[in-house]
Each structure stands twice: as C-alpha cells, then as structure tokens.
Amino acid sequence: MAATIIDGKAFAATVREKVAGHVDRLKTDHGVTPGLAVVLVGEDPASQVYVRSKGKMTREVGMKSVEHKLPATVDQGELLKLIDALNNDPEIHGILVQLPLPDHLDETRVVNAVSPAKDVDGFHISNVGLLGTGQKSMVPCTPLGCLMMLRDHHGDLTGMKAVVIGRSNIVGKPMAQLLLGDSCTVTIAHSRTRDLPEVVRRADIVVAAVGRPEMVPGDWIKEGATVIDVGINRIEIGEKTKLVGDVDFDSASERAGAITPVPGGVGPMTIACLLANTVTACCRANGLAEPEGLTA
C-alpha cells in the first residue's frame, strides 16, 4: 500500500493562517504588532531569494517586516553594531541573520550576538542549552516544523521509536531533543553509524537530515513507519536538474505509512515556523500567553 503523503505546503498554509489570527488579536487586543528583522550580508542569490520570500510572508500575516542589506565587505564591528541596535528596538521581536556569512565574519560570534529572546532561528547557545535541558527556549524552525507535522499526523508520540539521521546543530540535535520532549525513544544516527540500515529499520519515525541525496533506500524503512525527509539536494539528470531528498522517495513510499515529499514537504514549514517563532517571541516580550499550537 502506498504511503500517505504528508503535504507540508498545505500544512504550512494552515500554520500561517493561525499566525495571522494571533497577529490580528495582538493588534486588536493589545496594540502590539510583532516585528521581524532580517539581516542579509552580501549578494548570494539563494540567500536573496530566501530573504524576499520571508519578507513577503511576514507582511502577508500582518507583521512588521524590516530588511537590512549589507555589502559582503561589511566590517564585523559594523554588523554587530546593527544587531545591538535591533536587540534594543522594542518594535522588533525577532532577528534573523541570513546564513552563510562571508568568510571574514565570525559566524558563531554573530549568531550569539543576537538577543536569545529575539533569536527566532533558535541558534543562540543559550537557546541550545535551554532546549537541551527541557526548558522554555526559542526552537530552530526546521525541527519545529517537523515536530508539528508529526504531532498532526500521529497525535501522541509517546513511546514511539525515532531515529534521526544527521547530527547537525541546526536540525539533527535539536530534532532529537524535541522528540525526547514528546516522550519518544530517540537514536541519533549518522553516516558513520555501524549497521545503519538495521538501526533505521527499528524506527517508527525516521527523520532524515544528513544532506546526501537519496541516501536512505526503501528497504531501510520499517513497514508503516513515518518518514520526515529534511534533505534538499539538487542532482543532475542529463541536462536537467532535479530536487531530491535524503530518502529515495519512490522505494520508501512503498513501505512507509506516511512520508514527506521533496519538494513540498519540510521546506515550506521552515518559513511558517519562523513566523510562528516571531509571534511567540512577541508574546513572551509582552508577558502574554504563548500562541497555542505554534510552539514546542
């Protein structure tokens, strides 16, 4: 039986709709408009596309959108000065520094210069520590989107065996922490895990975030398992290119109970969760109840 397709594009639209509703209530009931500032350094074409898309969606849900575009040659001190100004701007509740940064900039220092309360990417070391110890934090957008889709599909995740393939600070590690928080039994695997196929075959939930095109074949997947494919890889087929995930979709969908496609799966959820995090940050800054269904 073919797997159920988890439509991330459609689910992201429902998340943005919820965000818009919360934004409207914040404006009407409290006179507060959530504000998101995005900082782009340089002229990287992919980053420019992402920033435009984020700005467009931010405005569509009724939030304040601010973009700061700096030259690739910007001095680190000047960038840190801008971040400090945004940290102290009461109309800005979320700050996102678009990565990657030019080589002459210290990415770790820049990320950790953002106020943890406004760190809607969830990359600040304070938020990483809070998440790792089960405390309230800002959660990285992609893992949060994966968790939302899993909760929507399964309801209660208690006791499920989950394998996260990939150990990055951006996806793999925070994904594992979120699944632990929902009482899953979690294994973090990676390309050097011994007998990786058998490890994956034991999982009720597989989150693939290793960054290798179609690395996970269908025969690694347990019958009926849920597969969340975070990978976005561009491969060449003849003279054309194609986007594929870290999972071989065709073979995996024959064994999985549910699976996310690439494209149209996890990707759209990332920006939706960025908007959700901004609303959450706004509510926390103003001592208001956090938006239901939009946080971990």
pLDDT digits (tens, 9 = 90+) for 127-164: 999 999 999 999 999 999 999 999 999 999 999 999 99
Q: Is residue 1 over pLDDT 60?
A: no
Q: Considering 64, 118, 119, 121, which one is annotated as catalytic?
A: 121
Only one residue has tokens 């290793």, namely 210
State the average pLDDT over residues 200-208: 98
Query: How far apart are the C-alpha atoms of 218 and 292, rounded to whole Å?
Result: 36
Q: Considering 54, 64, 173, 222, which one is annotated as catalytic?
A: 54
Query: How far apart are the C-alpha atoms of 255 and 169, rounded to whole Å?
Result: 29
Assess whether 48 carries a catalytic annotation.
Answer: no
Buried b (16+ CB within 10 A) or exposed e, 80-91: eebbeebbeeee
Percent above pLDDT 90 for the chain: 91
Q: How many CB atoms lie within 10 A of CB 38?
A: 23
N residues, the chain: 296
pLDDT digits (tens, 9 = 90+) for 33-66: 999 999 999 988 888 888 899 999 999 999 999 9
Assess whether 98 carries a catalytic annotation.
Answer: yes
State the average pLDDT over residues 254-279: 97
Assess whether 121 carries a catalytic annotation.
Answer: yes
The confidence score (pLDDT) of residue 240 equals: 86
Q: Considering 18, 64, 98, 204, which one is annotated as catalytic?
A: 98
Average pLDDT, the chain: 96
pTM: 0.95
